[in-house]
């Protein structure tokens, strides 16, 4: 058996795959089993009682994790003139207009988040087939089409996470690193979970949060008890 397979089997020892764990206990268990040579990412996955094929069952939005993601986020900004200068001053990694669009069309996508001022949308709109499938298309509802580029850049680099339900009704995201302390990870998990509950769409019927699991990049996954994270129904 490959070394990687043996390590994963060993990391599963002591974990009941059918049990649902308290979130704090799950974080502790996974951290104890995190032995990769890099800082592993903690990932949450939520199975929701929605059918994303219907417009009234979409789940999409953004949430700011209180303790950051631990990830260095590269931000591209579509802007020109004073707004381009503002973006550079605020720490944007890539700034441009038509020139940036041409780079992207040519296959160079060296950023994790894209922001655009409203006047840039005619240019950005032509990139929908490239940016859309990658989840990089600026969207006013997500705060990434705005004239306040400095604030948007700060949010993107400071722990803001976008989420969008996939075809099978699953949402997943990174919620921190193994190097975080337990309280920071639990706080981020609760913030993400609460955001998903608040984003419950009007068309969702029956049990909304069906299953929640937590895993690390190279480690096993454990099922979480939703009641240990937060309310399962939006107030």
> Which pTM was predicted?
0.82
pLDDT at res. 205: 87
Distance CA 85, CA 192 (A): 33
- CA-CA distances (angstroms) from residue 109 to 29, 186, 201? 37, 33, 32
Distance CA 71, CA 175 (A): 10
Residues in the chain, pLDDT under 50: 1, 235
Contact 97, 118 (CB under 8 A): no
Strands 41-48 and 75-78, sheet pairing: unpaired
pLDDT at res. 159: 87
pLDDT at res. 14: 65
- CA-CA distances (angstroms) from residue 57 to 90, 102, 172, 177, 204? 36, 35, 17, 31, 6
Distance CA 217, CA 213 (A): 13
pLDDT at res. 3: 53
* Other beta carbons less than 10 A from residue 182's beta carbon: 13
pLDDT at res. 5: 56
Helical (H) or strand (E) element with 78: strand 75-78
pLDDT at res. 174: 94
- CA-CA distances (angstroms) from residue 219 to 118, 144, 196? 42, 33, 24
pLDDT at res. 233: 61
Helical (H) or strand (E) element with 124: helix 121-125
């Amino acid at each position: 058996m490959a070394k990687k397979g043996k390590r994963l089997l060993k990391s599963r020892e002591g974990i009941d795959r059918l049990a649902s764990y308290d979130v704090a206990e799950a974080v502790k268990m996974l951290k104890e089993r995190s032995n990769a040579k890099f800082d592993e990412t903690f990932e949450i996955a939520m199975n929701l009682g929605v059918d994303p094929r219907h417009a009234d069952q979409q789940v999409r939005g953004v949430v700011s994790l209180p303790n950051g993601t631990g990830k260095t986020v590269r931000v591209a900004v579509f802007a020109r003139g004073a707004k381009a200068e503002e973006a550079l001053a605020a720490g944007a990694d890539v700034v441009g207009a038509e020139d940036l669009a041409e780079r992207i069309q040519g296959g160079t996508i060296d950023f994790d988040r894209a922001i655009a001022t409203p006047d840039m949308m005619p240019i950005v709109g032509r990139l929908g087939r490239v940016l859309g499938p990658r989840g990089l298309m600026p969207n006013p509802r997500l705060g990434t089409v705005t004239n306040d580029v400095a604030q948007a850049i700060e949010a993107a680099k400071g722990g803001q996470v976008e989420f969008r339900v996939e075809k099978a009704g699953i949402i997943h995201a990174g919620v921190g690193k193994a190097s975080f302390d337990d309280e920071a990870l639990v706080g981020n998990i609760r913030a993400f979970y609460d955001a998903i509950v608040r984003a419950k769409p009007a068309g969702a019927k029956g049990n909304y949060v069906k299953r929640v699991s937590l895993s690390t990049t190279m480690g096993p996954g454990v099922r979480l008890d939703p009641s240990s994270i937060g309310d399962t129904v939006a107030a």
